[in-house]
Amino acid sequence: MKEFTAQQIADIVGGELYGIDPQTTLSAGVETDSREVSPGDIFVARRGETTNGIEFAPSAIAAGAAIVIAEAVPTVGDDTLPSCVVTDATVALGKLASASVEALRETMTVIAITGSSGKTSVKDLVSVLLAGEGETVYPPNSYNNEVGVPLTALRAGEETRFLVLEMGARSIGNLAYLTSLIRPDIAVELNVGAAHSGVFGSIDNTARAKAELVESLQEPGWAVLNADDPRVRDMQNVLAQGVNTMWFSEGEPTRPDTTVWASDVTTGATGRSSFVLHLPGEEPAQVELSLLGRHHVSNALAAATVAHLCGVTARSIVTTLATAGAASRWRMELVDSPNGVTVINDAYNANPDSMRAALITLAEMGRGDDENPPRRTVAVLGEMLELGDTSIEEHDKIGSLVVRLNISRTIAVGEGARPIYQAANLEGSWGNEAAWVENISEARDLLQSELQPGDIVLFKSSRDAGLRFLGDEIAGVSGAQ
């Protein structure tokens, strides 16, 4: 965080100070979890759904917090704790992050990434690509909302050269709010899919919400757009005058001078893709991705585009893409278990697009090639949440797909995933190719009785379905729950 005095912070957030010298300087971290507080930090006591952060103000001060931003004066007995009292602590968090970024903007580039799928993977790739150019701050996991984005931004300081933000939206106006706090210099639009269509009401509303990111750009900002997605292509129409556009595409473009693209894309039994990378003004270069799944080609192109705009050399981009693995957990995470079963744990998020991509990768790995023999494939699939009225239809499509891909064994877990099993049977699954179980416990019992050395098993579901923990257990990952 940029250094501020307590009085400056009070002025920024519209608060009133209690129990602290107004000239006290504050430049350490900012936390909303009292358990994460370190000496000198600011503790923001947000009001949550079940608890009020002010209840944890005493423990935050005991841990060394210099001041508490809260919606009432925190006390211990008759003693007033050092605090800044505001109307809304979450709003205050955003205002503080905004002021800190603006104070650092002259020496820092802000990159924001959104899309229906792939945000976290691209955020991780961009962060690795830029780290060699200077101090790069990026969010852990998926800190992409009105709390996570400001917390990430407040980690940037005087030495930070790049601030990489993942921005998510659950309704129209979310991205407009986030970008009103922290305006990006480079905005990346990955795709517009059916994810959260139950929340937005339609895919067109999803596109409208996602477009708010590039609408925030000002001259001479850059919009990085996916030329392969028609709804993303249309976003060039909402750009402000003077904003530049750089495209990425998996096909040869009409404007090579403004497009990063791939040719000769192949994916073998390892599940990893290779392609020839074309950067404007550079010689084509062969790339072998470390990440698992054909869909990561598009993610790699998006990340390479950002890196190119930020001055990373072509050689460094190629080398980094070949070595960068999944930095965030439960995203196409590949583990060879002690009992000889290969586990693909991709059960942190799920939507129709990412579900299809994961299943295609599983099928490709199972088919084998000249160097790898065919293997039995098992798909353990949970519910894709937030699909609204399209939920049954989208799960039904997945059930048909597993049969067409010749997945050896499909296990649908939970009531919401039952249409996968039903559609697989209607599509032509027979014998024990498809099964439905009511819960994770039944899925565990079934897997433990059936899995054999050499099998490849995919775990894929939305986070709240909980399959990621079963995936850890089957993989023998330490700390599995």
Name every residue whose Cβ is closer than 8 Å to that of residue 140 and which is 6 or more positions away in sequence: 328
Task: Decide: 280 and 308 in contact? Cβ < 8 Å.
Answer: yes
What's the confidence (pLDDT) of residue 10? Answer: 98
Task: Decide: 352 and 194 in contact? Cβ < 8 Å.
Answer: yes
Task: Decide: 254 and 228 in contact? Cβ < 8 Å.
Answer: no
Locate CATH 3.40.1390.10 in the chain.
4-89
Q: Residues forming the annotated binding site for ATP?
A: 115-121
Locate CATH 3.90.190.20 in the chain.
333-475
What's the confidence (pLDDT) of residue 170? Answer: 84
- pLDDT tens for 75-99 read 999 899 999 999 999 999 999 999 9
Q: Which pTM does this prediction carry? A: 0.89
DSSP codes, 85-150: E-S-HHHHHHHHHHHHHHHHGGG-EEEEEE-SS-HHHHHHHHHHHHHTTSEEE--STT--STTHHH
What's the confidence (pLDDT) of residue 372? Answer: 85
Locate CATH 3.40.1190.10 in the chain.
105-322
pLDDT along the chain (481 residues), means of 10: 97 98 95 96 92 95 97 94 98 98 97 94 96 95 91 97 95 96 98 72 90 97 97 96 97 90 92 95 95 94 98 96 80 91 93 93 91 93 90 95 96 96 86 91 96 96 91 80 47
The 10 Å Cβ neighbour count of residue 338 is 8
Q: What topology is assigned to 333-475 in CATH? A: Protein-Tyrosine Phosphatase; Chain A (3.90.190)
Q: Residues forming the annotated binding site?
A: 115-121
What's the confidence (pLDDT) of residue 369? Answer: 84
Q: If we measure between CA atoms, which residue out of 401, 396, 408 comes closest to residue 455?
A: 408
Q: Which CATH class is domain 4-89?
A: alpha beta
Instruction: Give the Cα separation of 301 and 259 in Å (integer).
Output: 10
Q: Which amino acid is at 250?
A: E
- pLDDT tens for 260-303 read 999 999 988 889 999 999 999 999 999 999 999 999 999 999 99
Instruction: Give the Cα separation of 53 and 74 in Å (integer).
Output: 10
What's the confidence (pLDDT) of residue 141? Answer: 74
Q: Which CATH class is domain 105-322?
A: alpha beta
What's the confidence (pLDDT) of residue 125? Answer: 96
- b/e map 375-386, b = 16+ CB within 10 Å: bbbbbbbbbbbb
* Pairing outcome for strands 42-44 and 67-70: parallel
